[in-house]
Amino acid sequence: MTDCIFCRIVAGEIPAKLILETENVVAFHDLNPVAPQHALVIPRRHIATLDDATDEDRELLGQLMLAGAEAARLLGCAENGYRTVMNCKESGGQSVYHIHLHVLGGRPFSWPPG
Ligand code: 5GP
Ligand code: ZN
């Protein structure tokens, strides 16, 4: 059994509040939301960090972004706008090492991030 939390969510071994599923990606609500709307979009296939992605993942990463936009529409934050973030490794603030796109909405976000 894998010890990757997000692989276990994909396998249905850990419950998650699903937003959408496609052949290659899954979007679900973050367990500890930092905004009124906070979704995570992940590939079904394990890729640890963005730094591990290769040219072969080009199509998958495009699907991840488009699923993020669709999740934002489904959550009702597309009209006002939203923030997408992918943290990479320690200095990027990544805590789960299975790539995921954060989709944050429902409040304004400042720039630069902390
Ligand atoms: P990171 O810090 O790696 O960019 O983001 C990881 C995110 O995963 C965090 O926002 C955290 O709240 C979320 N998370 C961690 N474990 C779980 C879980 O078991 N279920 C869900 N839905 N989210 C989780
Ligand atoms: Zn994984």
pLDDT at res. 114 = 85
pLDDT per residue as tens digits for the range 9-24: 999 999 999 999 999 9
Ordered by start, the domain boundaries in the chain are 5-105
Task: Provide the mean pLDDT of the chain.
Answer: 97
> So what's the architecture of 5-105 in CATH?
2-Layer Sandwich (3.30)
How far, in Å, is the centroid of ligand 1 from the Cα of 35? 13
Give the position, in ligand 1's atom list, of the atom nearest the Cα of 94.
Answer: 3
pLDDT per residue as tens digits for the range 84-108: 999 999 999 999 999 999 999 999 9
Check pocket membership of 11 for ligand 1, CB cut-off 6 A. no
- Burial label, 114 (beta-carbon count in 10 A; 0-12, 13-18, 19+): exposed
How far, in Å, is the centroid of ligand 1 from the Cα of 7? 12
Residue 1 has pLDDT above 90, yes or no: no
Does the annotation mark 100 as catalytic? yes
